[in-house]
Amino acid sequence: MNHLPNSLKSIIAVAPVPMAITDIHMRYLAVSEKWISFYSLENKELIGKSHYEIFPEITDRWKTIHNACLQGVDQQCDEDKFERADGEVMWLKWEVRHWLAEDGAIGGMMMYSEDVTGKRTVVVNEKRFQLFMDELPGLCWITDSNDILKFANKCFFDTLHLTKDVIGKSNEEIFGLDIARDGQLNNMDVLEFGHNKVFHQTVRDEHGHPQYYKTYKFPFPDAGSEGDMVGAIAFNITKRKQLEEELYQSEAQFKQAFEHSLIGMALISPEGQWKRVNKSLCQILGYSEEEMKQLSIQDITHPDDLANSIDVLNDLALARIGEKKLEKRYIHKNGDPIWVVIAATMLYDSSGHPLHYVSQIEDITKRKEIENDLVLSEKKYRTIFENVQDVFYQTDQEGLVREISPSIEQHSGYHRKEIIGKPVSNFYYYPQDRERIIENLRINGSVIDFEVRLKTKNEELRYASVNARLIVENGAITGTEGSMRDVTTRKFHENALKALNTELTASNEQKNKLLSIIGHDLRNPISGSLQLLDLTLADFESSSADDVHSYLSMMKRELSNANNLLEDLLTWAKLQFNAVSFNPVEIKDLSNLIGKCIQTISPMAVKKNIEIVQSVKGEFLLHADTAMLETIIRNLLSNAVKFTNAGGMVTVKAVGDDKGVKFCIKDTGQGIPKDKLTELFYKNSNYTTYGTSGEKGTGLGLSLCYDFVLKHHGQLWVESDEGIGTTFYFTIPE
């Protein structure tokens, strides 16, 4: 244990404040007599005892403070709440500081405390005084002996249209020479005689109309450092100016103000008995003045408010509070509850004993009924808001969600708490939808049935129809509000209907195309063959064998064309109605397959003296539908021969790599006009023209090729130069 010199202990013992010194183990080394008396420790041995042994009720907070101090961190507090062991609450000013031993190490701690409960009460009372003065329905101010304004209440500033900047200025600066002179004479008179005086003053309002005030002035002689002071309270008595001056200086003046107040007023005994009531209060409660004086507050207070009312009366009587404003219910003489708001304070005699309560009582029953209606309306609104299927929302100017109805959860999976406070842009599937709706709101101020695409908590796409408007307050846009309706199902139905219409349109076009081919391209060769047959039969006996052979050859050519057309037509029709099966197999000998296709087209090529050259580079495996692949090559070869002049050349190539096989059918024909290239693979075009020897096509061949290549997930394209030739390419991927 560290030791202190006896001289230091003696000095500490007579210190004028509660003080104690401990070692690093919190054992007392010295204490002041004030410490012993302050904490009622007269009969306890302290020196050598632990501070925590003397005060076992001490909290962890204090232990933390002490430990920090012993680590070198000193602390202090000007006002701290402290509850003694007997339950008494005190307000302390305290300080803890470490002290150093001879070796320079921390030897312990010095503790100092001071009871500042009284000082704090003064501050609280000053605040109450300010609040009370601000609630007074009259002007209140204080000036010093030099006529400088030191204090004024709210009514003073509001009535005279002054600001608080006038505090510290002279009356002459504030009101002018004439008014200041009269005020100064009054103040001197009050200070000279040392008692209250009443004065009458006239002040013109902002419209120039005279306003009459009755002013009560009272002295504050030698108010400490402020010197002599004069307090004043003034009431506007303009409306009662016709009364005699003597009436205003008597009880009659108070009675007039009391009786004719527009709100209920009463003087109530400390026991709660009605001592004096005005007419307004009698009208509020339905009793006469005589009946009221036979009753107490307890007699007419609603049972549910009685306990609280008694507590308030006791607090006022015991000066726990200076004034109170509360809402409560009285029982009207007819038995109906009456809601009132009461401003009450207690007046005391010169000995500090309570005289009576002064109460101002205002009937607020109608206001309460309106409030109840508003609560009911809010409840109804909230019920609708929380149960409606559409989603209602509000956003602020920055686009943050301020409110949204709970129905959002069933549409998006988000709970409303997950959305409120978040940017609304977080919930758009496509940002451009947000930009579009903002632009429309900016231009029109509102949108109706505006379709946007939102995303759910699971990132799913949802369609919504939005009705929204800008919120404008005081000419400024503060946000948006509106409602959203989930139209995803409707949108899917619309899309399905559009798809059906598209399919129906395509089906009608296919039907018209089929009928056109049957009616024109198929009918012509059959009709021509029938005419040749009639001609042959009619002239059979007179016709030579060469004529018959010529007729039959022509018939064979026409019927062959019709047969080819019919084959293409049937294949095309099956494809349109998804009747063609797709059966890819492994094709090992691609050269042989191309050779078969060339052999089929050879008669056409021989007739026009056109050479067909085959080129298959490398050996590779190919997976494809054999029939479809042959149809693609055969049709492209047929077209190449058809549009190549006699003596020309057609080349068929196939090149393989790790991605698949690329086919190339190139001719030296007349080429295709550039403006027609884009129409070749357009299903609704049906573009066709005559070959170099007058061959007629159906326009179905390229359509079949295009569809069959797509079946293999490949590509088909063309390059052509007029007068030079055309090259068709297509790929069959792995």
Residue 162 near residue 174, CB atoms below 8 Å: yes
**pLDDT value for 520:** 44
d(CA 437, CA 425) in angstroms, rounded, equals 11
Using the CB atoms, write b or e for 8-42: b if 16+ within 10 Å. ebeebeebeebbbbbbeebbbbbbbebbbebbebe
Q: Give the chain's mean pLDDT.
A: 81
- Which of residues 163 and 384 earns the better pLDDT score? 163
Q: Which of 30-44, 75-89, 177-191, 206-220 has the lowest mean pLDDT?
A: 75-89
E-assigned strand segments in 116-155: 139-144, 149-152
Q: Which amino acid makes up residue 627?
A: A
Tell me what percent of the residues of the chain surpass a pLDDT of 90.
14
**pLDDT value for 714:** 92
pLDDT at 297 > cutoff 80: yes
d(CA 636, CA 701) in angstroms, rounded, equals 8
**pLDDT value for 691:** 59
The DSSP output letter for 519 is I
d(CA 540, CA 542) in angstroms, rounded, equals 6
Mean pLDDT computed over 301-317: 88
**Nearest-5° Cα angle at 412, 408 to 415:** 55
Q: Is the Cα torsion angle 446, 449, 451, 457 positive or negative in sign?
A: positive
Q: What is the pLDDT of residues 642-691, one digit of tens each?
A: 889 888 999 999 998 878 899 999 999 888 888 777 777 665 555 566 65
Query: What is the DSSP annotation of 557-578?
Result: HHHHHHHHHHHHHHHHHHHHTT
Q: Which of 56-65, 452-461, 589-598, 669-678 has the lowest mean pLDDT?
A: 669-678
pLDDT at 204 > cutoff 80: no
Q: Which amino acid makes up residue 470?
A: L
d(CA 213, CA 234) in angstroms, rounded, equals 6
Q: Which of 493, 511, 515 is nearest to 503 (CA)?
A: 511
385 pLDDT band (50/70/90 cuts)?
low
**pLDDT value for 730:** 94
Strand 19-23 to strand 28-31: parallel, antiparallel, or no bridges (unpaired)? antiparallel
Tell me the domains of the chain and their CATH numbers: 8-120 (3.30.450.20), 136-241 (3.30.450.20), 261-369 (3.30.450.20), 388-580 (3.30.450.20), 581-733 (3.30.565.10)
Residue 633 near residue 590, CB atoms below 8 Å: no
Q: Which of 83, 58, 74 is nearest to 111 (CA)?
A: 74
**pLDDT value for 329:** 92
The phi, psi pair for 366, rounded to 5°, reads -60, -40
519 pLDDT band (50/70/90 cuts)?
very low
**pLDDT value for 69:** 92
The phi, psi pair for 189, rounded to 5°, reads -65, -45
